[in-house]
Amino acid sequence: MRSFHLPWFRINTKTDSTKITQSLFVLFGIFFLQTVLAADPVVIKFSHVLAASTPKGMAAEKFKELAESYTKGSVRVEVYPNGQLYKDRDEMVALQLGAVQMLAPSLSKFGPLGIRDFEIFDMPYMFPNKTTLYRVMDGKIGANLIAKLESKGIKGLAYWDNGFKQMSANKPLRNAEDFKGLKMRIQSSKALDAQMRVLGASPQVMPFSEVYAALKNGEVNGTENTLSNFQSQKIYEVQKHMTLSDHGYLGYAVIVNKTFWEGLKPDIRAQLEKAMAEATRYERRIAQEENENALEKLRATGKTEIYILPNESRRIWQQALLPVHDQFAEVVGRGTIQAVYKIAAEVEKEEKLNKDNNSSAKAKK
């Protein structure tokens, strides 16, 4: 009688075939488990154009950390900052082709994709505060916008924040007339183009990565951006004046390739959604702090004179820029503009009520 000895079981050729079949099942099971455990992780290439030290850069790293931990290594997130993989113009195409899986472009960069509705976020002086903004992003308007991406093979996962924009040039920008004749760099948004034209400036669309050099060599004379973007790009080295005007907003949509996303196993997708929700809370918290820190750092350089636009001038700027809302009503939706005005008015009313309640509570003490 012949027999085979293996470390964990013995097969006797005379034993019945059931035993052999069972043993083969065990062997196959072990092999299968080993294969699954050794399977390559799903790779998410997350490309963006900012420095790693910006709110977007830090939140991308936070997402990586959470996603890899929640999926227990089944997903690997590779973050590529500073446009090292793709610049503004190319990153959307790269996402649609599946060369990268995740991006967080500025909301002003969806126009060239054929979705102009996002330009609601570019309307000057449309959002008086962050509360209004978050209600718009996290409510029906934000959801409708995100849904429009699907026809382009893109899935939107979250809105990330940066902040309100300021103006800069090599001359003081105190009055709306001061913009006349200046070549101002803008992102690829027709609404931003209209905003600069209303001010009498000549708008120049340019990728973010080229702004510093273009300001330095005089290709453009000025620009608009958030404080953290001004600071991280060292724009203070090439701009002598900045006006804190808060005239517009800059935020992001975190987007993924739709086919890739829908092809993920449901449990993996759920963990990634959880990681994204947490990274979004983190991002919105630090965006405010980073812009405040950036202002201090900009002041400390002593290279750019910072002018705080007085309320009276702000009203004049607002009046000058208001025609852009009407001009773009057909593009972004008249109903959407009205809905944002309504949300802003509700927020203002609530804030006033809170203020009154606080002062009467203080008076009672």
Chain residues binding ligand SIN by CB under 6 A are 49-50, 106, 162, 187, 208, 225, 229, 250
Q: Least distance (Å) from ligand SIN to the CB of residue 132?
A: 20
Distance, CA of 312 to CA of 202 (rounded, Å): 25
Please say which residue, 205 or 306, places its beta carbon nearer to ligand SIN: 205
- Contact (Cβ atoms closer than 8 angstroms) between residue 167 and residue 224: yes
- Contact (Cβ atoms closer than 8 angstroms) between residue 55 and residue 286: yes
Q: Least distance (Å) from ligand SIN to the CB of residue 24?
A: 57
Q: Least distance (Å) from ligand SIN to the CB of residue 208?
A: 3
Please say which residue, 110 or 208, places its beta carbon nearer to ligand SIN: 208
Q: Least distance (Å) from ligand SIN to the CB of residue 314?
A: 22
Nearest to 250 by CA among 164, 131, 127, 125: 164
Q: Least distance (Å) from ligand SIN to the CB of residue 235?
A: 10
Q: Least distance (Å) from ligand SIN to the CB of residue 131?
A: 22
Please say which residue, 50 or 92, places its beta carbon nearer to ligand SIN: 50
- Contact (Cβ atoms closer than 8 angstroms) between residue 44 and residue 63: no
Please say which residue, 106 or 336, places its beta carbon nearer to ligand SIN: 106
Please say which residue, 50 or 332, places its beta carbon nearer to ligand SIN: 50
The single-letter code of the amino acid at 24 is L
Pairing of strands 183-186, 75-80: unpaired
Distance, CA of 96 to CA of 250 (rounded, Å): 23
Distance, CA of 165 to CA of 227 (rounded, Å): 7
Q: Taking CA 200 as the corner, what is the angle to CA 242 and CA 304, rounded to the nearest 5 degrees?
A: 10
Please say which residue, 264 or 298, places its beta carbon nearer to ligand SIN: 298
Distance, CA of 175 to CA of 186 (rounded, Å): 19
Q: 258: which 2 tokens? A: 């739709």
